[in-house]
Structure 1
Amino acid sequence: MIQRYWQFFTTVLGIIFRHPITGTTLIPVLPDGKIVLIRRRDTGKWGLPGGIIDWGEDIPTTAHRELAEETGLEITEIRRLVGVYSAPDRDPRMHSISIVLAVSAQGTLKVQDTNEITDVRAFDPQEIPFGHLSHDNDRQLQDYLNHLTTIA
């Protein structure tokens, strides 16, 4: 009996922890064309805002919540799907799948989640610190700027 419960327990853990985590990454574009990046507390690198889709949320709800939590901005329009990025090594913490959306945003830049974010700033596209961004955000931003839709 105990062995059967243990097998069930380990099977459930395998299902939970051996599958990629799904989240959204946002490319927030302000009315002046600047792109908003956040500075991550864990790495100190600039990156795109975003996060894990919570149970019961859809992608648009997650996008709105994550942008507000990390930057203080609100989404005025989801412009387009930039891509779906699923390489097992794209996030050094875990295997995650990121659905990347370009969004129009407005409001006042203000770090809301000080546990994860240390700074938020709007960059002209030519000022973005390419080569020094977190995760695979270099590729995601290049795909956006090159008008690509990528499945990777």
Structure 2
Amino acid sequence: MDEHEYLAGYDPRSYPAVAVTVDVVALTIIGGVLHVLLVERGEPPFLGRWALPGGFIRPGEDLDQAAARELAEETGMTDRVHIEQLASYGAPDRDPRMRIVSVSYLAFAPDLPDPQAGSDATDAAWYGVDRLPKLAFDHERILGHALERARAKLEYTPLATAFVGPRFTISELRRVYETVWGVPLHAGNFHRKILSVPGFVESTGETTESGGARGGPRAKLYRAGDARLLHPALLRPEREEEIR
């Protein structure tokens, strides 16, 4: 039997039905606190429960397109957002409707706007990651994996620059690390480490328009460099202790 004959007689109904969805963990920093975007479900299952934004992929749509669409529906943003695939979740009982495999995505951006609920949600809001409601499906597990991915990636990639604007100070970058890692960092040591990593940041040759709150000197402005991996890595304080 050649391929044409095989496909002509192929019946997908002979196999159990499986659907594919995407779920997006969108993170931003608001008021010095790491926040995640959640939507309130407007239909069963888990009616009224908060969940990560997501939905079924559409015909002719690939996974990356579906994730970008879901994020755009809730935030209106399609650019200045770093988005990457996180993991897949396919436990047989993760969704009461049918066998559904979810491919999760992780998204970061500075100054994301107030969210707008999509067609299948009654509300959308930013929640501080340390003050979350009970989430639908297995979204607490997905969010936990996403937070650990974000914290780890700050160690060995320039991901922190996705949380700041095109031009930033070293202090602003340090606050990103402190917020995501949840620990204070020594300002002087952090400054030296950042500038010792080739390609992490580069000077714009500009400074802030004014000094700090105490009237200090104006701070130098930097932009993201061309590095894709940080060497040496910027380890979390607890990881530095483990290595020692």
* Bin for the TM-score computed over the shorter chain: 0.7 to 0.9
Q: What is the match of residue 13 of structure 2?
A: 13
Which of 64, 69, 86 pairs up with 1:65? 69
Q: What is the match of residue 86 of structure 2?
A: 82
Query: Aligned partner of 2:75: which letter?
Result: G
| SS, match of residue 146 in structure 1 | helix
Q: What is the CA-CA distance between 1:111 and the residue it aligns to?
A: 1.5
Number of positions where the alignment pairs a residue of Structure 1 with one of Structure 2:
133
Q: What is the match of residue 4 of structure 1?
A: none
CA distance in 1, matches of 2:76, 2:52: 13
Q: What is the CA-CA distance between 1:139 and the residue it aligns to?
A: 0.8
CA distance in 2, matches of 1:55, 1:117: 21
The question of whether the paired residues in 1 share the 8 Å contact of 2:25 and 2:53 is answered with: yes
| SS, match of residue 149 in structure 2 | coil
Unpaired runs of 5+ residues, structure 1, are 1-7
Q: What is the match of residue 133 of structure 1?
A: 135
| Counterpart mapping for 1:29-108 below 5 A | 29-32=27-30, 33-42=34-43, 43-69=47-73, 71-75=74-78, 76-78=81-83, 80-105=84-109, 106-108=112-114
The question of whether the paired residues in 2 share the 8 Å contact of 1:26 and 1:49 is answered with: yes
Kindly indicate whether structure 1 or structure 2 has the higher relative contact order, using CA contacts under 8 Å at least 6 residues apart: 1
Listed one character per residue, the Cα deviations across residues 97-140 of structure 1 (whole Å, up to 9, x for unaligned) are 11111112533311131xx10110101110112xx211100111
Listed one character per residue, the Cα deviations across residues 48-73 of structure 1 (whole Å, up to 9, x for unaligned) are 0011111211112101111223x233
Tell me the TM-score normalised to structure 2 length. Answer: 0.49
Larger radius of gyration: 2
Which of 109, 114, 118 pairs up with 1:112? 118
Query: Aligned partner of 1:73: which letter?
Result: G
Query: Aligned partner of 1:41: which letter?
Result: G
Q: Which moved more, 1:102-111 or 1:22-31?
A: 102-111
The question of whether the paired residues in 2 share the 8 Å contact of 1:31 and 1:104 is answered with: no
Q: Which has the higher strand share?
A: 1
Q: Percent identity?
A: 29
